[in-house]
Amino acid sequence: MITDLRYFAISEFDCPCCHANMMDIGFLYRLDDARHVSGVPFKINSGYRCLKHNHDIKGTRDSSHLVGLAADIACNNSSDRYWMIDALLDVGFMRIGLRQDFIHVDHDLTKPQELFWVY
């Protein structure tokens, strides 16, 4: 069991409908490192998703959330967004999606790397 994350409780990544949590440990440690580097709080909007929840919210069939390799982090101001993205890149994340109110980050090596996208 993970007990030494500096900034997150594991429950922050639970699926909202069934409370399952199959988050990848390495992903969580890397995200925790990014939070430390950024100096900006990370509020997790979405972590692990079960198939039902992913379907209900119209997530993609191959969503990295389904395998515990993704998180959506709340963010709605440009300054925080800059520091968060800078830190995510600094610790080695290479897949980042942007929406006005959140940042998606994943470490899914089965998908193309070195990408930014906008929702």
Using the 8-state DSSP alphabet, how is residue 22 labeled? -
Q: With a threshold of 0.85, does the pTM exceed it?
A: yes
- Predicted local confidence at residue 1, as pLDDT: 57
pLDDT single digits (tens) 73-115:
999 999 999 999 999 999 999 999 999 999 999 999 999 999 9
φ and ψ at residue 39, rounded to 5 degrees: 75, 10
Fold of 10-118: Muramoyl-pentapeptide Carboxypeptidase; domain 2 (3.30.1380)
- Predicted local confidence at residue 2, as pLDDT: 62
- Predicted local confidence at residue 4, as pLDDT: 85
- Predicted local confidence at residue 3, as pLDDT: 67
